[in-house]
Structure 1
Amino acid sequence: MSLPNSENASTLENAMQLMIQTFHKYSGDEGDKFTLSRAELKELLITELGNYLGNAQDKTAVDKIMGDLDSNGDGEVDFTEFIILVGALTVACNDFFLEYNDKPEKKK
C-alpha cells in the first residue's frame, strides 16, 4: 500500500501521511519494524517533539512517557499508542493556545 499523492491531498490528509511516515522513520531500527523501542521512542521525542516536550533527553521523562503510552505492557510503542501521544499533545497545545489568547493584554 502506498500513500496517496500529496499534491492531491488535503491539509489534514497530508498531516496524517506525515504522522505515518514519521512513526515509520523511527520504528524498526531495533526489533519489530512496526513498533518503537525505548531507544527509538527517545530519538523520536528528541528529534520530532523536542520543542513541545522540553527535556525529552531526561531518562526519567522518557521512561514516564513510555510507561504512559505502553498500554499493553509489551515494552514497545505501537502506532496506536504513538497516535495517543500525538493526540494528547495536540489537545494540550490547543488548550494552551486558547487560554493564552483569552488572556487580556497587559496595559502599558
Structure 2
Amino acid sequence: MPSQMEHAMETTMFAFHKFIGNKGYLTKEDQRVLKEKEFPRILENQKDPQYMEKIVKYLNRCRDGKVGSQSFFSLILGLTIACNDYFVVHMKQKEKK
C-alpha cells in the first residue's frame, strides 16, 4: 500500500498523463482545462487572478505555449508552496484565537 506522499505523487503523474495524451506536453487549451478542472479552489482564492498564468508563462521558457513534464511538476510544486504558505498563515491565526 503506498504512503500518502506516494499516492499524491502517483495521482499527480496520472493527472498529467491524462491531460497530455500522446503529445508529451500540455497545450494552451490543455492548460486551461487543467486549471478549471483540477485547481478551481486555488483559482477562486487567489488575490491575483492571473497567478497561474504568470507561473505557466515563467515555466514556458520556450514561448511555444507547450508545458512539458518538468515544467508541469515545477508548477505543482510552486502551487503547493503557495498553498502551504496560505495554510501556515491561517493556522497561526487560528492558534491566536
TM-score category, normalised to shorter length:
0.7 to 0.9
Letter in 2 for 1:73: R
Give the match for residue 11 of structure 1: 4
Q: Displacement of 1:65 after TM fit?
A: 4.2
> Which of the numbers 60, 71, 83 marks the counterpart of 1:81?
71
**Paired-residue identity, %:** 32
Q: Displacement of 1:63 after TM fit?
A: 4.8
Letter in 2 for 1:51: R
* Structure with the larger helix share: 2
Unaligned runs of 5+ in 1: 1-7
Unaligned runs of 5+ in 2: none
Looking at structure 1, the residues matched to 60 and 8 of structure 2 have their Cα atoms a distance apart, in angstroms, of: 24
Correspondence 1:20-99 to 2 at 5 A:
20-28=13-21, 33-54=23-44, 61=50, 63-99=53-89
Q: Displacement of 1:96 after TM fit?
A: 1.0
Checking the alignment, whether the CA contact within 8 Å between 2:56 and 2:75 is kept in structure 1 is: no
Q: Which has the larger radius of gyration?
A: 1
Root-mean-square deviation (CA, aligned residues, Å) is 2.1
Q: Displacement of 1:75 after TM fit?
A: 1.9
**TM score, norm. by length of structure 1:** 0.73
Checking the alignment, whether the CA contact within 8 Å between 1:36 and 1:76 is kept in structure 2 is: yes
Aligned residue pair count = 91
Give the match for residue 100 of structure 1: 90
Which of structures 1 and 2 has the larger relative contact order (alpha carbons within 8 angstroms, sep 6+)?
Answer: 2
